[in-house]
Amino acid sequence: MVRRIWGASNARAPTFMRVALCTAFFLTLLLLSMHGSALVAADAPPLPTPAAPTHTQPQSALQDVPTLAQTQAAAADRFTLLAWNDLGMHCYNRDFQDLAVLPPYNNLYAQVVRVGNPPQIVTTTVTVDYAFADNTYSVGKSNFWDFEKALFGVELAPNIGLTGNGLDGPMAAKPNHFVAEGIPLTEYSDSAPTTRHPYQLATVVARASAGGAKLAQLTAVAPVSTEMRCDKCHSDGGEEGISTGRVETNILTLHDNENSGEYPPGHETPLMDRRPVLCAECHASNALGAPGVAGLESLSRVMHSKHAGESPDTTLGCYNCHPGPDTKCLRDVMSQQHSMGCVDCHGGMEQVSQNPTPWLKEPRCDTCHNDPQYAQNQPLYRNSTGHGGIYCAACHDSPHAIAPSREANDALKFIALQGRNGPLVTCTVCHLTVPDGPGPHGMAAPPPIIYSNWSYLPTVKQ
């Protein structure tokens, strides 16, 4: 039986107070890190043998026949690139003219491993770029760029998001990984700009800092969806019989009717009279690093508590607001192979609403998988690392997409790296030769063939 992680009765005190999470305080970041979107070609032909970067052993150009030492050096110059999205799904509003819950804002992470005995995580001698071959612009696919000034107080160049990142560009080097935050990605591919496609594909490329030779490339999913089904209850004639012509204005009218007497000083104007409205102006949202107005409940708290009893405590109920009955953002091994749903890990609406620090305190893998070998070393899975400093999500993928996932696009990178779907288990993806010692979670080499009864080569959807 699956155990709930936390709730009103067993909520643990927050173990940390880090508000400066990945997405926090982007407005400050914006001023610091605004940059253009220098395009790094993602369609360069695959590189045969990288020109020797300065940090590797130089080879003489005069020798035709490589020596054994050179062959070994070349093998040791193999790099593995790991890449993933941090959340497993990012949701943004389809239309920003009336209200915004969340902006277009996708985060990609990467680690570069220099294959060897032992393998080495590198961040200083390599650069990593991302691009979307079939998703190169967002203006026209979203009206965000007509309202970003009103919503967030900043004027953004077309196709540039709130952190200054565009749809292609460099990832920032951190001590043990690379990251691109706030990519303003939409769910619409260039090739089908009106068809929703939530499992967008990013091309991530690692290059030698010196010389720029391509070292490794990987295609990873950047999941994104606008599927919020507020319309199921708030369309014209729905809740309280309000009919303004649009779902969003129905919601704002309802909110004004219920609460306008309580709007805090400096925020008194009815929401309908000052559209577009950012919910996080008043209700704190850690997803945005937005503190809200002191004394008012967080957005997560008000939304889940107000709708408790209205939207059922089932995965389909959660899909009323989280993407969604079409997107089905929950696609991981536990949902597909073990019939688990949102409520098994998060609890129901009331329990979610009791989260003291939304987004920063979430279910933990090691609450259920409580053998010490699966312990997280950080409060959040997305920040945790395991075997040799490799991110849990580099081997398992993001929450809600824990490999093997239902989506063929999620499988692409695992197939590219190790020939089959499922968590990274093939030692030689990172080790030059199969090590004698124990691997991830104490696993002995050679690794077991896991998930052998599953299909490893699903039909790839673009």
Q: Please select the residue that binds ligand HEC; options are 239, 336, 406, 432, rule is CB under 6 A.
A: 239
Q: Per the structure block, which two tokens stand in for 393?
A: 């999500």
Residue 137 found at the interface with ligand HEC (CB under 6 A):
no
Q: Looking at the chain, how many residues does it have?
A: 462
Closest approach, Cβ 439 to ligand HEC, in A, equals: 3
Query: Cα torsion at 442, 392, 450, 408 (round to 10°)?
Result: -170
Instruction: For residue 290, give Cα distances in angstroms to 20, 286, 315, 381, 401.
Output: 11, 6, 28, 22, 27
Beta bridge partners of 172: 179
Which residues in the 336-395 window bind ligand HEC by CB under 6 A?
337-338, 340-346, 348-349, 352, 355, 358-359, 362-363, 365, 367-369, 374, 376-377, 380-382, 384, 386-390, 392, 395
Closer Cβ to ligand HEC, 204 or 330, answer by number: 330
Which residues in the 45-104 window bind ligand HEC by CB under 6 A?
87-88, 99, 101
Cβ-Cβ contacts under 8 Å for 212 (sequence gap 6 or more): 127
Q: Please select the residue that binds ligand HEC; options are 21, 73, 154, 230, rule is CB under 6 A.
A: 230
Residue 435 found at the interface with ligand HEC (CB under 6 A):
yes
Closer Cβ to ligand HEC, 196 or 283, answer by number: 283
Under DSSP, the state recorded for 268 is -
Token pair 């204005």: residue: 249
Closest approach, Cβ 444 to ligand HEC, in A, equals: 7
Binding mask 300-329 for ligand HEC (x = CB under 6 A): x-xxxxxx--xx-x-x-xx-xxx------x
Closer Cβ to ligand HEC, 139 or 334, answer by number: 334
Token pair 């009791």: residue: 354
Binding mask 3-42 for ligand HEC (x = CB under 6 A): x-x-------------------------------------
For residue 392, the Cα-to-chain-centroid distance in whole angstroms is 14
3-state DSSP assignment of residue 381: helix
- Judged by CB under 6 A, the number of residues near ligand HEC is 116
Asked if residues 288 and 102 have their Cβ atoms less than 8 Å apart, the reply is: yes
The amino acid occupying position 60 is S
Residue 443 found at the interface with ligand HEC (CB under 6 A):
yes
Q: Is 258 exposed, middle or buried (0-12, 13-18, 19+ CB in 10 A)?
A: exposed
- Count other C-beta atoms under 10 Å from residue 283's C-beta: 19
Q: What are phi and psi of 174, to 5 degrees?
A: -115, 175
Stretch that binds ligand HEC, among 53-61, 137-145, 218-226, 334-342 (CB under 6 A): 334-342
Closest approach, Cβ 265 to ligand HEC, in A, equals: 10
Residue 404 found at the interface with ligand HEC (CB under 6 A):
no
Residue 146 found at the interface with ligand HEC (CB under 6 A):
no
Under DSSP, the state recorded for 275 is -
Closest CA to 458 of 416, 395, 398, 412: 412
Closer Cβ to ligand HEC, 141 or 382, answer by number: 382
3-state DSSP assignment of residue 79: strand
- Count other C-beta atoms under 10 Å from residue 276's C-beta: 20
Closer Cβ to ligand HEC, 160 or 296, answer by number: 296
Closer Cβ to ligand HEC, 125 or 367, answer by number: 367
Closer Cβ to ligand HEC, 131 or 173, answer by number: 173
Cβ-Cβ contacts under 8 Å for 408 (sequence gap 6 or more): 458, 459, 460, 461
Closest approach, Cβ 62 to ligand HEC, in A, equals: 35
Closest approach, Cβ 135 to ligand HEC, in A, equals: 21
Which residues in the 258-297 window bind ligand HEC by CB under 6 A?
258-259, 262-263, 267, 271, 277, 279, 281-283, 285, 287, 296-297
Residue 425 found at the interface with ligand HEC (CB under 6 A):
yes
Q: What are phi and psi of 363, to 5 degrees?
A: -55, 150
Closest approach, Cβ 222 to ligand HEC, in A, equals: 13
Q: Per the structure block, which two tokens stand in for 333?
A: 């091994």
Q: Please select the residue that binds ligand HEC; options are 179, 254, 272, 432, rule is CB under 6 A.
A: 254
